[in-house]
Chain A
Amino acid sequence: MAQQHPIGLYLKIWALLFVLSTLSYLVDYFHLQGYLRWGLIVSFMLMKAGLIVAVFMHMAWERLALICAILLPPGCLLVLVGLMALEADHTFITRLLFFR
Chain B
Amino acid sequence: MSTPMPIASSHGAAPAGPTGWRGLVADWSSDREAFAVSWGKAMMWIFLLSDTFIFSCFLTGYMTVRISSTVPWPNPSQVFALHIGGADIPLILIAIMTFVLISSSGTMAMAVNFAYRRARMPAAVLMLATAALGATFVGMQAFEWTKLINEGVRPWGNPMGAAQFGSSFFMITGFHGLHVSAGVIYLIVVAARVLRGRYERAGNYQIVEIAGLYWHFVDLVWVFIFALFYLW
Contact = CB atoms under 8 A, between A and B. Distances in A.
B227 A4 contact: no
B72 to A, nearest CB: 13
Contacts of B174: none
B41 to A, nearest CB: 9
A42 B224 CA distance: 9
Contacts of A44: 227
B199 interface: no
B182 interface: no
A74 B56 contact: yes
Residues of B contacting A: mostly: helix
Given A17-B105, A45-B224, A2 B231 contact: no
B115 to A, nearest CB: 10
Given A88-B64, A92-B68, A69 B35 contact: yes
Nearest to B225: A45
Contact of B232 (A41, A66, A80): A41
B45 to A, nearest CB: 5
B223 A45 contact: yes
Contact of B110 (A10, A27, A45, A58): A10
Contact of A52 (B46, B63, B216, B226): B216
Interface of A: 1-5, 7, 10-11, 13-14, 17-18, 21, 24-25, 27-29, 31, 38, 41-42, 44-45, 48-49, 52-53, 55-58, 62-63, 65-66, 69-70, 73-74, 77, 80-81, 84-85, 87-89, 91-92, 95-96, 99-100
24 contacts: A1-B36, A4-B117, A7-B110, A18-B99, A21-B99, A21-B226, A28-B90, A28-B230, A31-B77, A45-B224, A53-B220, A57-B213, A57-B217, A70-B46, A70-B49, A77-B53, A81-B56, A81-B63, A84-B60, A88-B65, A88-B66, A92-B69, A92-B70, A95-B68
